[in-house]
Amino acid sequence: MKVALLFPGQGAQYVGMGKELYENYLVTKQIYDEADSLLDWNVKEVCFTDSNGLIHQTRYTQGALFTTNYGIYAALKEEGIKIDAVLGFSLGEYDAIAASEVLSFKEALKLVDLRATYMEECAKATPGGMSAVIGMETEKVYSLCQQISEQVGSPVTVANDNCEGQVTVAGTSEALEVANGLFKEAGAKRVVPLKVSGAFHSMLMLEAAMKLEAQLTNVQFKDPMIPIISNVTASTMNKDEVRENIPLQIIKGVRFRESILYLIEQGFDTFIEVGPKTTLSNLVKKISKEVETYHVEDVESLKQVIQKVGGTLC
């Protein structure tokens, strides 16, 4: 058995996420408490009650979800599960970076908070959006994006390659309006505009990427203790590549499908989603019917994973 952990990204969040493990695992409680001590807003309040309606705002979503993912991971790690690789989706890559110990939780959280700030600022300054393209071959989506960008004169690009037949594109509103019609004409089953604040994972986020890169000057990256798979390259990263890819990841597409196929080629047969909901584990099932998928987001699902995969609860 070779086990890879998957950390979800923005969109998986919901009010109440992580609360049960916070109340039952000291290590999880310590993660949330540390996050509250580091940031100038209340992470626990946003995650557990969200009385001010902040959880779906990019500025707060990213720190809240990063903390929740890592708090769940801390509980899973305490139970003694063997981990052979880590992979995060977009924001979730920061959890993978922290889990592999390239950066500490504290260091990664500070970068996540900056990333969220810069991306929200960039979305306001350079408006754009995203659409999900369902039921079209991935290569055809890539090809049409290039054609549309040339035709309109503004970019539309593949932002998330989730699985065959499910791709997200990002671009200016003008480009997306043209793209949505052309994708349907070219045979897409559905094209669904997404409720997001910006054109994430596209060149419209360039200013955010540049600002984040400027913050890395004094950050010390360590060699990964667990192999970590890159959203940008869909292969393993060393510490220098992690540093290079942190800003690139904001403007490049998430190559999730290719990353899972890469891990399967390396002999991985077990994938555990660590965080709210089951978005990534459901995608893995579509990518391959030959592997086992699990998820952990509360006490019961944690116990089930330990019983199935192995650890001190067995």
Per-residue HEC secondary structure of the chain comes to CCEEEEECCCCCCCCCCCHHHHHHCHHHHHHHHHHHHHCCCCHHHHHHCCCCCCCCCHHHHHHHHHHHHHHHHHHHHHCCCCCCEEEECCCHHHHHHHHCCCCCHHHHHHHHHHHHHHHHHHHHHCCCEEEEEECCCHHHHHHHHHHHHHHHCCCEEEEEEEECCEEEEEECHHHHHHHHHHHHHCCCCEEEECCCCCCCCCHHHHHHHHHHHHCCCCCCCCCCCCCEECCCCCCECCHHHHHHHHHHHHHCCECHHHHHHHHHHCCCCEEEEECCCCHHHHHHHHHCCCCEEEEECCHHHHHHHHHHHCCCCC
Instruction: State the CB neighbour count (10 A cutoff) for residue 110.
Output: 17
- Asked whether the beta carbons of 21 and 275 are under 8 A apart, the reply is no
Q: What are phi and psi of 198, to 5 degrees?
A: -165, 180
Task: Give the closest residue to 62 by CA, choosing from 38, 43, 87.
Answer: 43
To the query of whether residue 201 is one of the catalytic residues in this protein, the response is: yes
Catalytic residue among 100, 131, 197, 201: 201
To the query of whether residue 56 is one of the catalytic residues in this protein, the response is: no
Go through the chain and tell me how many residues it has: 314
Catalytic residue among 90, 100, 131, 197: 90
The Cα diameter of the chain in Å comes to 59
Q: Would you please indicate which residues are annotated as catalytic (active-site) residues?
A: 90, 201
